[in-house]
Amino acid sequence: MKVAAIQMVSEVSCQANLLSAAELIQQASEEGAELVVLPEYFCILGAVDTDKLDIKESFGQGPIQEMLAAAARRHNIWLVGGTLPLEVPGDNSRVYNSTLVFNPQGKCVARYDKMHLFKFKKGVEQYDESRTLVPGTAPAVFDLKSLDGNSWRIGLSICYDIRFPEFYRALTDLGTDLVLVPSAFTQTTGAAHWEVLLRARAIENQVWVLAAAQGGTHQNSRKTWGQSMVVSPWGQVVSQLATGPGCVIAEINKTELATVRTNLPALEHRTL
C-alpha cells in the first residue's frame, strides 16, 4: 500500500491552511497514495495559543471537517486529518486536540483525542498544552482494506504520545500493524529526540510508523522540526522530508511486517 505523510508550515489563517492542505492532498493522491496523513495543527498555528479556540468545531460539523470529508471523496482516499480543535461540552476555555479519519466515501470512521499533553520549559521557550486542551481518555484504532486486498489495523497517536512506550504497546495489543503520528515537534525537542523515538516505537512494537510533521518557521515565529518520515518494522527510515511543505511517499507491505515478527518474535517473548 502506498502511503503519504504530508508536511506543512501552517499559518495563523485557518482558510489559508485548508487551501495549502488541499493542494498537498491532491499531490499525494496524484502520486498514488491510498492513505494520506496531515500533520498536527494542520489547520492553525495561531499567533497565540488560544487562537485554536476561535476555530473549534462540534464533532461532525464545521468547515474543517467538511473540507476533509470532501477531499477524501474527491480523491477516493483514506484521509487522516492531522489534528483539529473539537469542542469540549461545558468548557469554553479548552478543546480536544483530535485526529479524525475519513474513508474514501467521506465518512468519519475514527476519532482519537490526544491523551498526553505536552509541557516544556527551557529559558524563554515554554509550552503547556493543558492550558487550552482537555486530554482524551482512550487509544483508538481503525481498519483499512487496501487495494491489494490486505487488511491493515492502524493505530492513532499524536506528537507527545511518542514519548510513552506503554501507549504504543497498548496499540500493539489491539492488533496494530501501522501507527500514525501527526506532530508539531519543536525544533529543540525534535533535534534531540524525534527520529530516535519514532524508530524505537517501530522497533519495540514491530510496526510500521508514519509520521506527518510541521516543519519550518511559522508566522508566529515558532520553529518546528519537520523530518516527516516512514519507518519500517525493523526501524529503518525508508522515506523522509527535512523541512518545508511537501509529501513523504512510501510503499509499505504486510510481508515485511510478518517477516520481522517471525524472524525476531519479541512480542511473543514478553513476560509482563
pTM recorded for the entire structure: 0.98
Active site residue 23: no
- Per-residue pLDDT band for 119 (boundaries 50, 70, 90) equals very high
Residue 265's pLDDT is what? Answer: 98
C-alpha cell at position 10: 501552517
pLDDT, average across residues 186-193 = 97
Rounded mean pLDDT of the chain?
A: 97
Task: Give residue 93's pLDDT band: very low, low, confident or very high (50, 70, 90).
Answer: very high
> What's residue 131's pLDDT?
97
The predicted pLDDT at position 139 comes to: 98
Q: What superfamily does domain 2-264 belong to in CATH?
A: Carbon-nitrogen hydrolase (3.60.110.10)
Looking at residues 118-139, what average pLDDT do you find?
A: 95
d(C-alpha 16, C-alpha 77), whole Å: 22
Task: Report the C-alpha gap between 180 and 40 in whole angstroms.
Answer: 11
Spatial neighbors of 141 by CB under 8 A, at least 6 apart, are: 110, 153, 154, 155, 156, 171, 174, 175, 176
pLDDT of residue 26: 98
| Per-residue confidence (pLDDT) for residue 261, from 0 to 100 | 98
Q: Which three cell numbers stand for residue 97?
A: 486536540
**Residue 37 confidence (pLDDT):** 99
Q: Answer yes or no: 114 catalytic.
A: yes
Q: Helix (H, G, I), strand (E, B), or coil: what is residue 242? A: coil
pLDDT at 116: 98
What type of residue is 34?
E
The answer to whether 180 and 155 are in contact (CB under 8 A) is yes
Strands 151-156 and 178-180: parallel
43 labelled catalytic = no
Which of 11, 52, 57, 114 does the annotation list as catalytic?
114
pLDDT for residue 107: 98
* Residue 266 pLDDT: 97
Please tell me the predicted confidence (pLDDT) of residue 240: 98
Q: 40, 57, 87, 129: which one is catalytic?
A: 40
> Would the CA dihedral through 92, 97, 101, 106 be positive or negative?
positive
